[in-house]
Amino acid sequence: MPQNYDLFVIGAGMAGTAAATKCSSAGWRVAIVDALPYGGTCALRGCDPKKILRRGAEIVESARLMEGKGVDSNGLSFNWAELMSHKHGFTDPVPQSMEDNLRDQGVETLHGRASFTGPAQVQISGTTFETSKVLIATGATPRSLNFPGEEHLIDSTEFLNLENLPARIVFVGGGFVSFEFAHIAARAGSSPVIFDRGERPLKSFDADLVELLIDRGAEAGVEVRRGTSITGVEKTRAGYRVHLDEGGSPATIDADLVVHGAGRTPDLSRLNLEAADVAYGKHGVVVAEHLQSTTNPAVYAAGDSADTAGLPLTPVAVFEAKVAASNMLNSGFTVPDYAATPTALFTIPELVRLGMLEHEARDNGLNVDVRYSDTSKWYSNYRIGETAGAAKILIDKSTQRIIGAHLFGAGYAELANTFSLAMKHGLTARQLKSMTPTYPSVGSDLSSML
């Protein structure tokens, strides 16, 4: 006999669990399912483990920057296996801990691959579940690359579980995954090369700051080759041979490892959405602004599964899921507030964006005051031996409010949180400058950036 629920959540990542616990605490009967261990991409296969590995790279780079300034880095070594073990110390307990927490909050936890058999029916291994509402929060998966030898590539999940880091690594695509992993690999002693088919990688970030990042990465051993497409990968005795098209000319490069860093797509292919009359496209489930399916009122979607204006970030997925849960509980139409959401690329140093790019602001007819600062020689960078850093702050001249903040520098991902709060609540540049910071700290640079 079918089992009945008020809410059935497909996907036990951060978004799915947030919605499940919110609805369960309101008295709903809730079930959640995942074919993979509970925790989702961020906690197990993405943000969190990545930044643990980055810590090793930070230490090595910090010591190198202080050579001749009181620190002797001779003898400093990067033990990849030990760092990976440290990562597992965080990730390994997550699935059971998350599942226990869900059960403690009254959520029924299930395992297996779910697919729709009707508008409000879900099946797992032959068992049918009837539900009033469904939340799709299945995240994203690496997109198909459609070239011969694609099967030889590893994805970000496999990179974050490598027992050993090889010497020659090719990264396909000039996005987040490639840049962040390449910066880690270079500090660990590998020779990474990023191939991007366009002339401008990291298009969602400020173009001027991206060029500074590429130059700084080159100093650390990260090579970026633009205008280059991968046409195939073949296995060789020594590793892999990567076939390239460089501006119309064929070329090859040999590598020990080839990593997929060319983007992800919503992971919806095995849900049988057609059986539930759920419309979807290449950007996810088609939803109204309040996150309800436009074709099936029983279904909602959040995070990478949903075609929304939100950035593909874990905090965005979580607040979308909470908004969806609130709308389901209250038959509401609340729309997520995406204003001033920061996005950070955790290279070394990091690159951050909030709000509009310069051309976007001008295209919107705004009278923009662009305040650019070369921070490379500022005290906060001098102190740690860093030689690269910059900030570009965009101010609307008519209101004096900050409409864009673009930062490249050590510790600037934390500084971005202050900008985010100010932008979200409409503070003017003058009001933000009135803050008295701790000194000397990275945060004390904020006033000078304005």
Q: Half-sphere exposure of residue 334, counting CA atoms within 13 Å on the CB side? A: 17
- Across the range 256-276, mean pLDDT stands at 97
Q: How far is CA 201 from the centre of its chain?
A: 16
Dihedral class, residue 239 (left if φ above 0, else alpha if ψ from -120 to 50, else beta): left
pLDDT value of position 1: 52
Q: Per the structure block, which two tokens stand in for 394?
A: 């965009």
pLDDT in tens, 26-37: 999 999 999 999
pLDDT value of position 3: 73
The mean pLDDT of the chain is 96
pLDDT reading at 403 higher than 70: yes
Could you give the residue ranges of the DSSP H alpha helices within 221-283? none
Cα 347 from Cα 231, distance rounded (Å): 27
β strands within 340-396, DSSP E? 343-345, 350-355, 368-374, 390-396
3-state secondary structure of 66: coil
pLDDT value of position 2: 59
Q: How far is CA 105 from CA 26, 27, 102, 116, 326, in A?
A: 11, 10, 5, 26, 17
Q: Do residues 349 and 410 lie in contact, with contact meaning Cβ atoms separated by under 8 Å?
A: yes
3-state secondary structure of 329: helix
pLDDT in tens, 1-25: 557 999 999 999 999 999 999 999 9
Q: Do residues 306 and 136 lie in contact, with contact meaning Cβ atoms separated by under 8 Å?
A: yes
- Band of the pLDDT at 75, cuts 50, 70, 90? confident
For the beta carbon of residue 287, count every other beta carbon within 10 angstroms: 25
- Band of the pLDDT at 259, cuts 50, 70, 90? very high
Dihedral class, residue 45 (left if φ above 0, else alpha if ψ from -120 to 50, else beta): alpha
pLDDT value of position 73: 83
pLDDT in tens, 166-219: 999 999 999 999 999 999 999 999 999 999 999 999 999 999 999 999 999 999
Q: Do residues 132 and 9 lie in contact, with contact meaning Cβ atoms separated by under 8 Å?
A: no
pLDDT in tens, 310-327: 999 999 999 999 999 999
pLDDT value of position 71: 93
- Band of the pLDDT at 288, cuts 50, 70, 90? very high
Q: Per the structure block, which two tokens stand in for 98?
A: 């998350």
Q: How far is CA 22 from CA 13, 63, 303, in A?
A: 14, 45, 16
Going by the DSSP 8-state scheme, the letter that residue 25 receives in this structure is H
Over pLDDT 70: what percentage of the chain? 100
